[in-house]
Chain A
Amino acid sequence: AQSVTQLDSHVSVSEGTPVLLRCNYSSSYSPSLFWYVQHPNKGLQLLLKYTSAATLVKGINGFEAEFKKSETSFHLTKPSAHMSDAAEYFCVVSDQKGFQKLVFGTGTRLLVSP
C-alpha cells in the first residue's frame, strides 16, 4: 500500500527567503510522485511530477523537488518565496504499476509574510 507523510502542517517564511516543504512516501512499487498547489477556493494545480526520468524535477513558478530513494523523500523547494506562493501544497503518490489512483498527503499550508 502507498502512503504519503507531509511532515509540517504549516510553514511560515518571509518574502525572498527559501521555501522547503517536506514529504516522505511509502510505496511497494516504483512510484510516481507529484506536488499540487491549491489556492483558496480553487481546485488543485499541478506544480511538478516525478516519473523516474530524472531525480531532480523542475516545476512551474520556480519550484523544484528532488526524489531521494534512499531517504524515501520528495521535498519541494524554491530559492526565493513570493507573496503569491501562499497556498496549500499537497504531496501525492501514485502506483505506476496499476491504474492511477492517487494517495494524497494531508497538506502543508505555506504562509508568506512581507
Chain B
Amino acid sequence: NAGVTQTPKFQVLKTGQSMTLQCAQDMNHNSMYWYRQDPGMGLRLIYYSASEGTTDKGEVPNGYNVSRLNKREFSLRLESAAPSQTSVYFCASTLRGDQPQHFGDGTRLSIL
C-alpha cells in the first residue's frame, strides 16, 4: 500500500552540485507532478507529465529538468543547485483529470 514514494527524504547539497529526486507510484496513475513548497507560498507546480511520454512546464520550471522514465516513475533533476532551490519538494500523481492528486511525503532539500 505504498502509494507515492519519494527518495531521498532529506538531502544537503553545495551550490553548483547536481542531483536527481526520484518519485515512483504504484497506483497505475497516468499523470504525475512535481511541486515545491516554500513558507507562506503554498505549493507551486514545477513540471508535470499528463501521460507517459509527455512532460510540460508548470509555474516555476527554471533550473529544473524532468524525465518520465515509464508510467510509474517521474524524476526531477537539478543540474546546478542554487540556494534559491532550498525547499521541500513533493511528487504527486492522479489517474485522470477529475480525480484528486495523491502526494508523497516530500524531499527536504537544503542548498548551502
Contacts and interface: CB of A to CB of B under 8 A. Distances in A.
Interface residues of A, number: 23
Contacts of B97: 98-100
Contacts of A99: 31, 50, 97
Interface in A57-114: 90, 96, 98-102, 104-107
Contacts of A98: 97
A10 to B, nearest CB: 11
A9 B40 contact: yes
A96 B99 CA distance: 10
Given A99-B31, A100-B31, 7 more contacts: A34-B100, A36-B103, A44-B90, A51-B98, A96-B98, A99-B50, A100-B101
Contacts of B4: 43
Interface in B24-73: 31, 40-45, 48, 50, 58
A41 to B, nearest CB: 7
Interface band, chain B:
20 to 34
Contacts, number: 53
A101 B56 CA distance: 11
A90 B43 contact: yes
Chief secondary structure at chain A's binding surface? loop
B74 to A, nearest CB: 15
Chief secondary structure at chain B's binding surface? loop
B35 to A, nearest CB: 8
Nearest to B90: A43
User: What 3 A-B pairs have minimum CB-CB distances, sorted nearest first?
Assistant: A43-B103, A104-B42, A100-B97
26 contacts: A9-B40, A32-B98, A36-B103, A41-B106, A42-B105, A42-B106, A43-B90, A43-B103, A44-B92, A44-B103, A45-B103, A46-B101, A49-B100, A51-B98, A98-B97, A100-B94, A100-B97, A100-B101, A101-B45, A101-B58, A102-B43, A102-B45, A102-B101, A104-B42, A104-B44, A106-B41
Contacts of A106: 40-42
